[in-house]
Amino acid sequence: MVNLQHEPIPISVCVLAKNCETKIGYCLKSLTVFGDVVVLDTGSTDRTLEIIASFSDVRVFHQDSINNFGETRNFITEKAKYDWVLHIDSDEFVTPEFVEEIRGLTLDSNTVYSICLRMFYRGRSLPPFDTWSYRLYHRRTTSWTTRAVHESVEIREGMILQPIKATVEHHSFDSVKQLIDKAQYYSTLFAEQFHEEIKINSWSPLFHGIGSFLKFYILRGAFLYGYSGYLFSFCFSIGSFLKYAKLLEYKKNS
């Protein structure tokens, strides 16, 4: 458990949540060392709001849905108490090692800090599927790009980029259904956003799908993780195939 004897960390943690009753409690418990935690619920119909309400120090706001992830992250950032903000999703759990590293930082408003999200599947860590994301920044010096999907913190000229070595646990998937459902959801947003920007041909979906599988399974060593490594590599390749298949269809219909 995180050591609570220290003073609260003067950083606002912004959390997006929707129908995450099995994970939101673990997420919020891992954030109790921060001086401000603000949650934006985007239309939960399960026990998510009830669980959030059990954390007396957590402030919660509401939005019907998410049409643009970048705009939504900027919206919740405006509700923060502090200018230093950290974005954590409801299926991500902060580790004690991460907290201690944060405490040791001399925060510079011209620096954007990236965090490593360590993928977990049914309690097992899967390092080949780790991702890095810029999540800790000073809200007076930058903000999120207003993209529907693949949103990111805007890196402006002269800014310093610094990684945080300790990982954050990412418990994104509990079943094959969730893997496929997210692939469907994000591939649709991808096609809607990039249909005017990306040039492709009829072979693009196949090449991207195969390339994604080889990237994770062979190059990143997912084959060392048995069935879970194979499953994730294959499902991620399906997601990549769907992105470009939908993009191709979008272009032909427009």
- What domains lie within the chain, and their CATH numbers? 9-173 (3.90.550.10), 176-253 (no CATH)
For the residues 216-232, what does the mean pLDDT come to? 97
60 CB-contact burial (10 Å; exposed 0-12 / middle 13-18 / buried 19+): middle
Predicted confidence (pLDDT) at residue 254 exceeds the cutoff of 80: no
- The predicted model gives 50-79 an average pLDDT of 93
Per the CB < 8 A criterion, the answer to whether 80 and 38 are in contact is yes
Tell me the whole-structure pTM to 2 decimals. Answer: 0.89
In angstroms, rounded to a whole number, what is the distance separating the alpha carbons of residues 37 and 19? 18
Judged against a pLDDT cut of 60, whether residue 4 lies above it is answered with no
The residue-averaged pLDDT of 217-232 equals 97
Average pLDDT, the chain: 93
Q: What is the tens place of the pLDDT at every residue in 129-161? A: 999 999 999 999 999 998 767 789 999 999 999
94-140 pLDDT tens trace: 999 999 999 999 999 999 999 999 999 999 999 999 999 999 999 99
Alpha-carbon distance 25 to 51, whole Å?
A: 6
Map residue 172 onto helix, strand or coil: strand
pLDDT value for 5: 53
Mean pLDDT over residues 14-38, rounded? 97
Question: Residue 137 half-sphere exposure, CB side, CA atoms within 13 Å?
Answer: 24
Residues ≥6 apart with Cβ < 8 Å to 179 = 173, 231, 232, 235
- Percentage of residues of the chain with pLDDT beyond 90: 84
The helix/strand/coil state of 36 is strand
Q: Provide the pLDDT for residue 238.
A: 96
Measured between alpha carbons, how far is 141 from 155 in angstroms, rounded to an integer? 10
Whether the pLDDT of residue 87 is over 90: the answer is yes
